[in-house]
Structure 1
Amino acid sequence: MNLKLEKSIFQKQETVIKITGSKSESNRLLLLQALYPEIKIHNLSNSDDTVFMEKALSTNSDSIDVHHAGTAMRFLTAYFAVQENRTVSITGSQRMKERPIKILVDALNQLGANISYLENDGFPPLQIKGRVLTSSQVKIEAGVSSQYISALLLIGSKLENGLNLTLEGEITSIPYIKMTLQLLNQIGVETVFENNVIQIKPFEELKETELTVESDWSSASYFYSLIALSAIGTEVKLTFYKENSLQGDSVLAEIYKIFGVSTSFHENSISLKKIVDIDSSYRVKLNLVNAPDIAQTIAVTCFALDVSCHLSGLHTLKIKETDRLVALKTELEKLGAHVSISSESLELKATSIIKKDISIDTYNDHRMAMAFAPLSLKTDIVINDWEVVSKSYPTFWNDLKSIGINQFE
């Protein structure tokens, strides 16, 4: 299915958009809720990833399919490893079967888990025979995916002797690790993170606890981009957001000052406003190692504003829903961009050319669809497989329509 976006103008009056809860927070809390049923969750994400996670945690089936949900695959692998006397197999889409999970499986097996591969070594699908894990000491390579680390941390308090996790090498996406630890702290689990070692204390008793999920900052990034590409004075309000966020992508508020976008914090909401135009001679240079999910949005923003950029710290993008660096290069070059990539960076040279009526392939990647949508403020564009946004933001296209973006299937 293709969706054509005609060149549009963002409505200048203040518009209020309610964005679903963060799937990163939601999926962590769902796993904790499965371990500690006393937890009640508000503002849960309505994303596909969270729906698959919730379904998997509530089923008695011995066969689970998480489709494209990478977070669910990692977190559920750890969860079912500690479900005593239960055996399950976990599979996913063809792309999921190409996404490595060996580092996590090795770490869990070091703790005493019984996990084996059903097809190719190092990749899903997996067979997991749940058991009590009595070991507490484990080491893990820290530079590949923070989700491996968070998966271990989330079950750490349920291990008989807690968890003592040593992180080897450069640690990637530290904000996501801190998010996991802070959510554990909120339910009463004692944690220590010093140097490269994380300790999780055993924890059994929990009183009834209510937690509200903050809305997703990654989803907010597309509105930052839309405001950056709009006329001075254009404004939008997004709910539900906190000034002291657990999410690493909240760095958007600081980054988009470069593009002339101000962020005002209110009770449970933020207002984004275009206050100045960026000088096209400016060269954006950012290390996004702690917020790689917003790289696509920033790259498209720079291209649309005729601004050069160098984005680094992107090594984890190669093992996402697609190889996002290759996908970005391919689709931006269709539009007339000059792009070069390495294993962990993207370089884009400024150009005033933006081709019209280009079809953007999305590669089963929700962020490809949403990152390119703001270009509709500059040119007519076609988004292929547009429904892929349901993975993280099912109401995305309706929300764009509400601010004046013209769409035709």
Structure 2
Amino acid sequence: MADYLENTLLNLVGTDTAVPTGTTEILPGDTHLYDTVTSAVLPMVEALGPDEILRHPCGDIAARFGPDTPDGLLLQTYIVSQHGNLMTDPQQGRIVDGAALNLDGPAVVGQGANQNKGPMAAALSAVRELRSLRRAVWLTVNCEGRSSHDGSRRIYEDLGVRAAQSIIAFGTNLHVSLGNRGRVDIRVTVSGAAAHSSQPELGRNPIPPAAEIVGRLPEVPLPPPHPELGPATATPYQFQCEPIAPHTLPSRVHVVVDRRLLPGEDPDAAVAAVRRQLDGSWPELEVIAGAAMFPALVDPSAPVVGALARFPTMYSRNAFDAGYGCSIGVPTVMFGPGRRDFGAGVVHAEAVSISDCRIAAAALAKAARTLCG
């Protein structure tokens, strides 16, 4: 018979909270996401019997367990799933033999299973076991859908959640992530003038200068690699022409550059460096900052690391939300079940081992007791 964790995981995976196919983000306050969190996730949190529940107009939930103290633990979960976009029946959460997926024992397959929903089920299960706390344990459901720190800003600043340590429940394959690179999207717009492609002399084609700009990105000055986090990078990942019409030169080309940041780097300074490098490439050139996430780096001696001491540590090259907590002085690690695939599998299949979810739930409960019990 299915138990609480298994039922919770299947319900979460069966709830559509993914970034819609064909788009790259969910805007703050999205009506579908807000209503889905209200109907499907909020009742799960309420059933845990928190001492206080706070709700942000954008949908984020913060639930406090134990006394209202500033020196407790923030356990963050995330409801938006961003990958597994090409899965068949992505919300049809189902249990399969994990052996075929190189997972131990039964596994749940479905969108978000190994990114955020397996870890969320583990976090909910962990909080369910907490009793007689001396410090606050905050369980949050973060509704951020744009790969930015806006959700954490809302939780810390708007809702006023206070904590001395933080664990982000996220798929790390049961490793404790002590750090990750940050990132800033740099949006480059090259403007020209549209014309029919049979008479290009009547317009100004922005495609060649945009291609030249992409070719100059390797010349952007970058800091030396970090011994654990690897190199800073400047990688173009979107190239869009506007308008798209038959036999028509576009009037604008938009290039988006993923600039990965190392500890000590400032997003605005990174954008300014790219702007200087590209200055003079084309008369009508705009370089602006998009969404950004700070790098994260936690001292291995931090209490939150000690509370998860039986698990191996790791460092990640991708960017995530741990950087925000670290930037305001809250040591923030990532930990949870879920083996991530950052290659072709990132869009095709997501699954999480149920036994790994149980291990994570027990570990999170023990960490909360260690820090707040």
The TM-score bracket by the shorter chain reads under 0.3
Q: Which of 1 and 2 has greater Rg? A: 2
With a CA cutoff of 8 Å and minimum separation of 6, indicate the structure with the bigger relative contact order.
Answer: 2
For normalisation by structure 2, the TM-score amounts to: 0.22
Higher helix share: 1
